[in-house]
Chain A
């Protein structure tokens, strides 16, 4: 790693130097000027439990380290005040970054085994990790640890900022949580069911644009014969990263040459062309400052990389070439197939070199160099023909519902009333009837001597009473016509609601938006508590019995909350009813028109709330019942 990180920092009001030891095992503070080592402070990284830092904007730069050695009961805190005259913030950050990396590396290492949530999720998560992260050992590792996610408040807050619904649910559950549950307990419980969202959010927010070939992206433009150059600080650092030689040139020259001149001259120089891999021709302008570096041997570390990388057999070209076993034979290739010398076409080397640099921070996809050599399962899997594999084994849990009929009793009415009616009729009889109706021999003649169809189908214009005595209801009878009309109108109505989508009015069932929102929230929190209840209840952990009792209380309170909402809704409805009555009265007073009073015209109220919450209420009752049953089974009395 980089040369040891250090920074000027005061500890207990004494100036000193804080640095991280070479082996990265500990952080050491040495008082300035003091030779004696006993005043120094050394903290092993393993023992650091927490780090705190003053916010970025604060004037004072302080780093607080919580140390808890295995044998000590209480953590000891050390506060370092960074007081370097030039760049206290930078130094502090450097140290902090290294420390966080180290700590998370350590945590990631020992967390894998003893953590209660086991290796299962961790390994699955790591699979994602390798796809998205760069260095597995860096801070990224913490995203994949459930426990870490649960305590990362910053992350949670940023997620809630993004997702207002979640925020509301959180606030509501937090407000109504039983006092017996501490904030942190609540927090971890709340988030334990949402680690997946947290992780997704963490990955999302931490994704950054990767490095790119900066030299090809910077395009000097000539405007009015003058070279214009736009280069951002980020690009400069990228150039330095990708081409250490430029960094050196910059280092050695910039005080002498001013910065913008340096860059504009650099982009015209032969050195630039060389770095881009272009061939230098005679006509290229010379620039003594840069040309000095042309011959610098830039060690691109190729040989070193060649040694260090293990290349799997399936892409090992060298192995392929050596595969022939024995002497090389055959005539040499014709000259179009013989590669030119690297000097003639420098571009090829440069291109590979650059691409490799850009991907250097990404772990190789094929093999982890730490793995034992060999065709591992993954390599084989990538070779296997995927679509010939069988169906993945069904991984679902069958849901067994007893007495299904109870739940689906309504299903019976699936067949429309109409269909049911038709189903009852016997086709032959109906046909016979119809035939009888239109049989010309028995049909009456109308006034003009034609067959009277109207009479045949039984239209009786005079009859206006619906309950007219008729033995056989005919198609044309008044009742049939009314039925038909009703059906048509119903169809139109149904169609209209469909067209409008779920009209707000209907989906609210007459509740006001405010009331409805409250109801949704209540419902969400209740579900949340129910969730926790079942989690604890089914855990079978005797230690959590106390917690469970508190949970049940919460559930009771949830019931109360629903009742409260219902009561409020009822109140609201009464208010609305009152208003409506008032309006009718006012109308009557004003115009003398009496509107029919229909209390059902106003929706909402307790009834609706109860209807909506019915399943929730039932589950609440079920939970309480289960709990009591369990208590009874334990031989305890329900208090």
Chain B
């Protein structure tokens, strides 16, 4: 369908639309109920905007997982197809997705490697610039034909226009014998829409290489962003273990040998490098581009222009420097008590013992990359641990605030054998995302479950122009959230540490599982707060014969540590759901399955959340972060913990709904959910009736049965018409009403004082926003038009 939002003609690929579909501008945080077409609404609005204005601002759409990238690409493809049909001509449009080499590789032997790091390393060794040079010189070196074929094509037109899903890209690559990964990477600056993972933008190590050509006026969307702070933190944290130090030493020795070899054979090269380093890293950076051998951590711009400090300019000096640093770390690891210190204190100690200064340390990662390139090393995986150490060195020397070093000599409190780990942990999510906000004028953060919205701007350190949580408009009650607090025997159930392993609690959870496995058609998903708890509770259930009972009704599948194995289990689960056999999937609320896998329609009719998915509060890293949040952002520990637990719980619940014709039961089984009810996203909380917040197992079973019976009643799509789905006419009616409303408000505002109009808050960035019931629009900027439709 086709409609205008202000002057912007929007083509929506479905002939109906859910009320609440929106478009907003500036930096904003939006919460829209899961599975209501967030992705497609955003895409269609932004694409409409892109195509309407001559600047053709690029859209960078970031999503969490490959599954979601693929889904978004498929949606985009359908959208463009629809636009083509409607507009009658093919638009000059290119949309590509990017994921890791591992997922896109076509090279017959490289793609078989199980580990992504090895794929990366082997790929680089086949595709690096010097390899090609050698080949041209007639040397016999292995190359990747898929990559080299790209050089034969026009560099700005490696792939025809259109939207390419990852699979489509792979197929195209296979047909034309060209590398999908590099096709996508190189075409990035020629794309209208790029869909890739957060990491490409947030992780400074990769962002530097992958995303740097992207211009400032790109529109950036972070979808499924409820976890974005963790991604930010992860991208700047690293761990060092004894094992990695051992390997790093070996790597340094190897480097030494190589340097000696090269001195004998080709001393000129080392000299060249030296000369370059005097000029600064920028030149080296030019050559780096995509065949950069190893990633390097975030380097502020000024650093790149500076000359590399003298004491690490010479290759052999640098290696000696590295070795000294590694040895220092080794002695630190020998300490048998927990130490936590800030980077400045660490550096001071370092300087005291080894005379290593902060400045050369900052250049470590970059210097190593340069050296490896000069030495033309191909077996990069051997140097991976050394690289980790160098990264660590750079990070520790670059950032002072918001980071903490924690040395844990024992794995747990009860462990006897030391296994020391040095955590370098980032506490402030704002550090990683700051460059993104600085660089791009419009950033949209959205997810189905991102409540409370205030938390995000606080944690990520930015101001929003729009902050909205949209409720859901439903013609019938299509999902049934319930909070179960007691078992049938009235014993309170909870996954709290004190009671979680009590047989009565475990039995009650088991009973809940059995009852719901009996009444749920097709698929049922169960989420546990942690792996440890899941494992122990499953073992206990097996001992109690609860699983035997469940086997009668459903197949059982479990998320395992191995991703591949779990994918297989998932596949079996889906097959059983389609087949009518029915299955239960047991998984972890913060695990692999809870992110990015949908359990829509028959794949999930019930989602059971056993226990509140709190983080492990005894973790030192978490404690440090909590302290940091309290002191820096004034976020109370308990607030954060409970917010974090509830966003994960909500995320799990949201997995079962996709589209308004879907239905499902959501069970939160813990006494403690009772108090946390308000922290659920608006759309779930609204559907949660007061009578259904404090149920015992048998009451919940009764309610669920009643719900399923009502869902079994025929429900014609036409009943939704005008309520939860709108056709074009409904939409026009609504707009008209809204416009009248806005005129009325404007008039009133003028009457009031005639000064500042109430709507349209201008913020410093010439972006404006529309408030709930008005439209206002700035012609130069899309930014501000949104429709809020009340869902009451």
Q: Which A residues form the contact surface with B (CB < 8 A)? A: 131, 210, 212-213, 216-217, 219, 276-279, 302, 305-306, 309, 311, 313-332, 334-340, 344-345, 347-349, 351-352, 355-356, 358-359, 362-366, 372-375, 379-380, 383-391
Contact = CB atoms under 8 A, between A and B. Distances in A.
A356 B659 contact: no
16 contacts: A279-B539, A317-B597, A320-B67, A322-B100, A323-B199, A334-B616, A340-B531, A351-B557, A352-B569, A358-B555, A358-B581, A359-B579, A362-B579, A365-B579, A385-B35, A385-B40
Interface in B55-80: 64-67, 69-71, 74-75, 78
B565 interface: yes
A86 to B, nearest CB: 37
Contact of B237 (A131, A319, A330, A355): A330
Contacts of A380: 74, 78
Interface string B144-175: 00000000000000000000011110110000
B168 A355 contact: no
Contacts of A321: 116, 563, 592
Give chain A's interface secondary structure class. loop
A373 B171 contact: yes
A349 to B, nearest CB: 7
Contacts of B67: 313-316, 319-320
B205 A326 contact: yes
B504 interface: no
B69 to A, nearest CB: 7
Interface string B101-127: 111000000000000110010000000
B165 A306 contact: no
A374 B171 contact: yes
Contact of B66 (A323, A348, A365): A323
Contacts of B99: 319, 322-323, 325
Given A316-B67, A339-B535, A355-B569, A334 B167 contact: no
B123 to A, nearest CB: 12
Given A277-B542, A323-B99, A355-B557, A348 B535 contact: yes
A317 B593 contact: yes
Nearest to A327: B295
A55 B320 CA distance: 89
B556 to A, nearest CB: 5
Contacts of A383: 71, 74-75
Interface stretch (B85-93, B267-275, B546-554, B688-696): B546-554
B485 interface: no
B203 A329 contact: yes
B507 interface: no
Contacts of B560: 339, 348-349, 352
Contacts of B567: 311, 315-318
A387 B659 contact: yes
Given A278-B543, A327-B117, A339-B561, 15 more contacts: A323-B65, A325-B200, A326-B199, A326-B206, A327-B388, A331-B239, A336-B532, A338-B531, A373-B170, A375-B74, A383-B75, A384-B78, A385-B37, A387-B725, A388-B14
Given A276-B542, A330-B233, A388-B16, A344 B535 contact: yes
Given A365-B577, A374-B168, A386-B659, A317 B570 contact: yes
Nearest to A380: B74
Interface in B201-238: 203, 205-206, 210, 233-238
Nearest to A391: B717
Given A348-B560, A388-B37, A355 B117 contact: no
B235 A330 contact: yes
B596 A217 contact: no
A175 B457 CA distance: 85
Given A322-B102, A329-B205, A373-B167, A387 B565 contact: no
Interface in B569-614: 569-579, 581, 583, 588, 590-593, 595-598
Contacts of B412: 335
Interface in B648-683: 658-661
A133 to B, nearest CB: 10
A85 to B, nearest CB: 42
B167 A325 contact: no
Contacts of A389: 14-16
Contact of B533 (A210, A336, A362, A373): A336
Contacts of B166: 313
Q: Specify which of B75, B411, B575, B660 lies most central, judged by the most chain A CB atoms within 10 Å of its CB.
A: B575
Contact of B14 (A331, A336, A385): A385
A327 B293 CA distance: 12
Interface string B24-42: 0000000000010100100
A279 B540 CA distance: 10
B565 A352 contact: yes
B542 A278 contact: yes
B98 interface: yes
A352 B558 contact: yes
B570 A315 contact: yes
Nearest to B548: A216
Contacts of A309: 568, 571
A332 B197 contact: no
A348 B558 contact: yes
B619 interface: yes
A332 B569 CA distance: 25
A390 B15 contact: yes
Contact of B658 (A276, A327, A332, A385): A385
Nearest to A348: B558
A146 to B, nearest CB: 25
B538 A348 contact: yes
Contacts of B206: 325-326
A385 B236 CA distance: 37
Contacts of B616: 334-337
Nearest to A311: B567
A345 B535 contact: yes
Contact of B725 (A335, A362, A388): A388
A345 B538 contact: yes
A597 B620 CA distance: 109
B738 interface: no
B373 interface: no
A322 B197 CA distance: 11
Question: 5 nearest interchain CB pairs?
Answer: A330-B234, A339-B561, A388-B14, A365-B578, A390-B15
A326 B538 contact: no
A212 B571 contact: no
A320 B621 CA distance: 25
Nearest to B384: A327
Contacts of B205: 326-327, 329
Contacts of B529: 336
Contacts of A315: 67, 567, 570-571, 574, 597
Contacts of B588: 337
A386 B538 CA distance: 36
B506 interface: no
B440 to A, nearest CB: 20
A373 B165 CA distance: 12
A339 B575 CA distance: 26
B546 to A, nearest CB: 10
Contact of B16 (A320, A358, A387): A387
Contacts of A352: 557-558, 560, 565, 568-569, 572
Please indicate which of the listed interface residues A276, A302, A311, A388 has the most CB atoms of chain B within 10 Å of its own CB. A388
B486 interface: no
